[in-house]
Amino acid sequence: MELFMNVEQYQFVKKQAKKLANAYANTNDGHVLQAVQALVMESINEKLIGLDEDSSSIVKQIVTIKTKEQLENFIEKIKVYVTPFEKLTEKELKKLFPKDKKLKVPDLKNIDWTEISYLSWFDSGTNRKYIVYRNDNNIKSIRGVFSQSSKKGICTICNQHQSVGMFMSSKKGKAIGTYVKRGNYICVDSAACNENLTDFTRLTDFIQTIND
């Protein structure tokens, strides 16, 4: 069985499938439904380029979705073709953050690695948010102080209107004794952020801004 989607592509297809199911739930107009189907397929063809015939036929089954049950069945069917985020152990996570001697890691048993493009968690004891991501097939990490905003806003990573907070990272400046701080607003809920992340370049742009 060939894995032909990464996580962000899978989340994109899921989003299109939900759009189609919502259309059938809200209208009986055949012309409208045909238009939605056409737009969904056009969007998917632009996102998943170069699929072979077998992979393409699996994805094209999206046009058969009319009900919530069919939506759920389709999502489960395509999920097995997703390349998951690398499954990490507690020891590996601690090695990524050597400065945190008492690092509290999330419950890794409850993580669905096919649903995340990056791994993130918040430690309320230190007010730090930790992010683990893939860069050129290498696992990298950043951490920063995280302060939740009282108002919803646009997340820099997923570009959706969500409950957000300021992620602020600091590193030593060029002059002795100075520090450079960089940050931006990102989702409080990293699981929701991962589900909404359908363009991986937004994550890489955020990481680059923090690291520059």
Instruction: List pLDDT tens digits, range 12-52.
Output: 999 999 999 999 999 999 999 999 999 999 999 999 999 99
> Where residue 207 falls among pLDDT bands split at 50, 70, 90?
very high
* pLDDT in the model for residue 15: 98
Which has the closest alpha carbon to 157: 122, 210, 106, 196? 196
Q: What percent of the chain has pLDDT over 90?
A: 92
Residue 48 phi/psi, 5-degree rounding, is -105, 90
* pLDDT in the model for residue 174: 74
Taking residues 45-74, what's their average pLDDT? 96
- Domains of the chain, first to last: 7-79 (1.20.1280.250), 90-211 (no CATH)
* pLDDT in the model for residue 199: 96
Per-residue pLDDT for 1 more than 80? no
Taking residues 140-149, what's their average pLDDT? 97
- Give CA separation, 61 vs 71, 116, 150, in Å: 10, 24, 42
* pLDDT in the model for residue 171: 81
Taking residues 79-107, what's their average pLDDT? 96
How many beta carbons lie within 10 A of that of residue 31, not counting itself? 8
- Residue-averaged pLDDT of the chain: 95
Task: Determine the 3-state secondary structure of 172 from DSSP.
Answer: strand
* pLDDT in the model for residue 80: 98
- Give CA separation, 137 vs 85, 86, 133, 199, 212, in Å: 10, 10, 10, 17, 20
For 169-196, the pLDDT digits (tens) are: 988 777 776 788 999 999 999 999 999 9
Predicted model pTM: 0.92
* pLDDT in the model for residue 212: 81
Task: Determine the 3-state secondary structure of 86 from DSSP.
Answer: coil
* DSSP classification of residue 101: T
Tokens of 2: 């060939």
* pLDDT in the model for residue 29: 97
Q: Which residue has the tokens 């993130």?
A: 120
